[in-house]
Each structure stands twice: as structure tokens, then as C-alpha cells.
Amino acid sequence: MIYKILTFNYLITIGIASWIAAQAIKSLIFIFRNKRINFKTLSGAGGMPSAHSALVCSVAVGTAHKYGLSSPYFSFAFTLAVIVMYDAMGVRRAAGEQAKAINSMQEYLKKNRCALPDGDEYFKNMVTGLNESLGHTPVEVAAGMALGILIAVLSIIWVH
């Protein structure tokens, strides 16, 4: 029963396996660096390696294997992978940098007991700071891409 659930769709299975592997590696890196466990690293965005890149790359490689490089399915999977990785290094990374700046300004204002013209309405609604770990560096994206490709290739060897 569990085997059928986990293998109902080969492409989804390798995508999920790649995402889980990337999140596990992220968590292990966090534990090694900080000597403590943070369960947010199991599902959070950002960090080394990129789970998003691992997922879309494994699905693209699996699609190429299953349907061929000239299939419209691979074209779609490849295009999606490129968009996701570009977004991780661009828009999401920029949003993370902006979150760092806003959190820094918020901390400065609190520390110096400064008030904003709107009565700090926006800061009062923020219980915690903005998430700063949204995007990825090119190395993190490349590591995720390599992990996803590796998992797809291993699954092709193992399953077929």
C-alpha cells in the first residue's frame, strides 16, 4: 500500500525525494554549524542546497528520461526549472536582502525609541521580523541542481 502511494507517479516521487534530501542536508549543515537543532530548516526556504532547484531539476531529468529530450513534456519541465532557479537567485534573493534592511531599520527604531509618522502601525503588526532567508546564491542553486540531477540519475539506475 505505502509502496503504491510513494510510486504512483515516478516524476513526483523523484521530485519529493530531491526536496526531502535537500532539506535534510540543509538541516544537517545548520546542526553542524550551530551545534543545535532548528526544525524550521526542515521546511524553510533559502540555504544550502536549494530544495527548489533540486526538485525541478530532478523532475526535468526524469522527464527527459521518460519522454525524451525532444518531447513537449521535457520542454515544459526544463523551462520551469530555469524559471525557478532564476527566480531563486534574482527576485527571491532580492526580497531577502530587502527583508534584512527592513529588519535592521526596525531594530534601530526600537533600540533608539524612534516613532514613525503612522504611529508604527506596520511594525506593530509584525510580531517577528521579516524572513531574510528567501533566496539563494548561485552556489546554493548549483548545489541544488547537482543534487536533483544526482537523485534523478540514481533513481533511473535503481528503478529501470
For residue 114, is it left (φ>0), alpha (ψ between -120 and 50) or beta? beta
127-143 pLDDT, tens per residue?
566 655 656 788 888 99
Q: Compare 4 and 59 and report the one with higher pLDDT.
A: 59
Interatomic CA distance for residues 150 and 142, integer angstroms: 12
Q: Compare 32 and 116 and report the one with higher pLDDT.
A: 32
